[in-house]
């Protein structure tokens, strides 16, 4: 085994509207994650879960330190700071962090930690752009803001705990978009981020699009952070997510995408997020999440 993958659970659901994704890390583990990673030829070391503030003990509408609205913003900051250090320490130890969510707000900490003392690109597999800010978000849910936060967009400009120093817009590729708010649509168009919709995947095929995304993310960088939101897949394939959008990636397209990413040998860190066991059917979304994580680390049918 040439690679050690450190599993980091982040049972966070404060960044989303619907409760339940806090159980995602446990469900993914129960879905066979360690076995799947072992079959991928990597050593899996599970360090357990980070401690997350309880929603029942906090005020989601407490006075925020920036303009606009962002629910549980202070709690997201606490978790981000903790995860940032954990991811950075994991990389410094020569291991690869695999962060299990939880809602997608946890990706702020993954990206900031991964981009400490390194230039990092991002491949963002998601139905949504996650490019809102507290001022533009219709919901105030921080799981719709992590890319904007890490890139220092709008309200997030200069926010020390949120901005990933070694990450630039021109090294970010969003793959599989099909649901955007008006403000974030305009923000993405005005940015240097590369965005591929599901129509692009239909026209060119998933392998070609992911190869192009990797070219963007690896251009002048030290590695790639891969962030997989399970709502990237079609709800018929992955029913256990909080914000399903019809017309997503198929089972085979998802595996092909992650296999292509693994073949690049550029993976530096990985997120797997937004599995909601309350909404799932027989844990199939969590099991799929475990499979796809293994594909990202090189699992194949014949090896």
Residue 303: the pLDDT is: 55
pLDDT at 300 over 90: no
> Binning pLDDT at 50, 70 and 90, where does residue 2 land?
confident
Least confident of 10-24, 25-39, 160-174: 10-24
Report the percent of the chain where pLDDT is more than 90: 86
> Binning pLDDT at 50, 70 and 90, where does residue 71 land?
confident
The answer to the question of whether 128 is labelled as a binding residue is yes
The answer to the question of whether 46 is labelled as a binding residue is no
Per-residue pLDDT averaged across 117-125, rounded?
98
Q: What is the pLDDT of residues 271-295, one digit of tens each?
A: 999 999 999 999 999 999 999 999 9
Least confident of 18-22, 199-203, 224-228, 254-258: 18-22
pLDDT at 65 over 60: no
- Residue bearing the bigger pLDDT, 282 or 17: 282
Q: Which residues are catalytic?
A: 104, 126, 128, 130, 143, 229, 231, 274
Residue 70: the pLDDT is: 86
- Dihedrals φ, ψ of 195, to 5°? -125, 130
Superfamily of 4-296 according to CATH: Ureohydrolase domain (3.40.800.10)
The answer to the question of whether 126 is labelled as a binding residue is yes
Per-residue pLDDT averaged across 219-239, rounded?
98
What distance in Å separates the CA atoms of residue 96 and residue 74, rounded to the nearest whole number?
28
Per-residue pLDDT averaged across 166-181, rounded?
97
Task: Provide the 3-class DSSP secondary structure of residue 212.
Answer: helix
Per-residue pLDDT averaged across 135-151, rounded?
94
Q: What is the mean pLDDT of the chain?
A: 93
Torsion angle defined by CA atoms of residues 247, 252, 256 and 259, in that order, rounded to the nearest 10 degrees: 120
Neighbours of 205 (CB within 10 A): 13
Residue 205: the pLDDT is: 97
Residue 58: the pLDDT is: 61
The answer to the question of whether 190 is labelled as a binding residue is no
Residue 301: the pLDDT is: 67
Per-residue pLDDT averaged across 142-163, rounded?
95
The answer to the question of whether 231 is labelled as a binding residue is yes
The answer to the question of whether 155 is labelled as a binding residue is no
Under 8 Å CB-to-CB from 95, ≥6 apart: which residues? Answer: 4, 5, 6, 45
pLDDT at 61 over 70: no
Helix-strand-coil split of the chain, %, nearest 5 = 40, 20, 40
- Residue bearing the bigger pLDDT, 66 or 69: 69
DSSP string, 142-202: GGG-HHHHHHT-GGGTT-TTT--TTEEEEEEEEEEE-B--HHHHHHHHHSS-EEEEHHHHH
ω into 114 cis (within 30 of 0): no
What distance in Å separates the CA atoms of residue 42 and residue 52, rounded to the nearest whole number?
28
Under a CB-based contact definition with an 8 Å cutoff, are residues 153 and 168 in contact?
A: no
Task: Provide the 3-class DSSP secondary structure of residue 138.
Answer: coil
pLDDT at 55 over 70: no
Under a CB-based contact definition with an 8 Å cutoff, are residues 163 and 149 in contact?
A: yes
Residue 20: the pLDDT is: 92
Per-residue pLDDT averaged across 213-239, rounded?
98
């Amino acid at each position: 085994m040439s690679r050690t993958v450190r599993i980091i659970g982040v049972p966070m659901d404060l960044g989303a509207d619907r409760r339940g994704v806090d159980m995602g890390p446990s469900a993914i583990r129960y879905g066979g994650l360690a076995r799947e990673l072992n079959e991928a030829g990597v050593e899996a070391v599970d360090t357990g879960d980070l401690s997350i503030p309880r929603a029942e003990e906090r005020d989601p509408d407490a006075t925020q330190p920036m303009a606009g609205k962002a629910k549980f913003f202070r709690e997201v900051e606490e978790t981000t700071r903790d995860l940032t250090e954990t991811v950075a320490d994991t990389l410094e130890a020569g291991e690869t962090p695999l962060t299990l969510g939880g809602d997608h707000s946890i990706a702020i900490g993954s990206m900031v930690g991964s981009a400490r003392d390194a230039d990092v690109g991002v491949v963002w597999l998601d139905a949504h752009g996650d490019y809102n800010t507290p001022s533009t978000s219709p919901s105030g849910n921080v799981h719709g803001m992590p890319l904007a936060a890490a890139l220092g967009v709008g309200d997030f400009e200069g926010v020390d705990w949120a901005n990933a120093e070694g990450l630039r817009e021109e090294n970010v590729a969003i793959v599989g978009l099909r649901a955007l708010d008006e403000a974030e649509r305009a923000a993405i168009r005005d940015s240097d981020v590369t965005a591929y919709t599901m129509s692009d995947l239909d026209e060119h095929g998933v392998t070609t699009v992911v190869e192009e995304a990797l070219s963007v993310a690896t251009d002048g960088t030290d590695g790639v952070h891969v962030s997989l939101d399970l709502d990237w897949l079609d709800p018929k394939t992955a029913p256990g997510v909080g914000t399903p959008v019809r017309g997503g990636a198929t089972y085979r397209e998802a595996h092909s995408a992650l296999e292509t990413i693994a073949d690049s040998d550029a993976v530096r860190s990985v997120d797997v997020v937004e599995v909601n066991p309350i909404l799932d059917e027989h844990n199939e979304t969590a099991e799929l999440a475990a499979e796809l994580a293994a594909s990202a680390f090189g699992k194949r049918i014949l090896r």
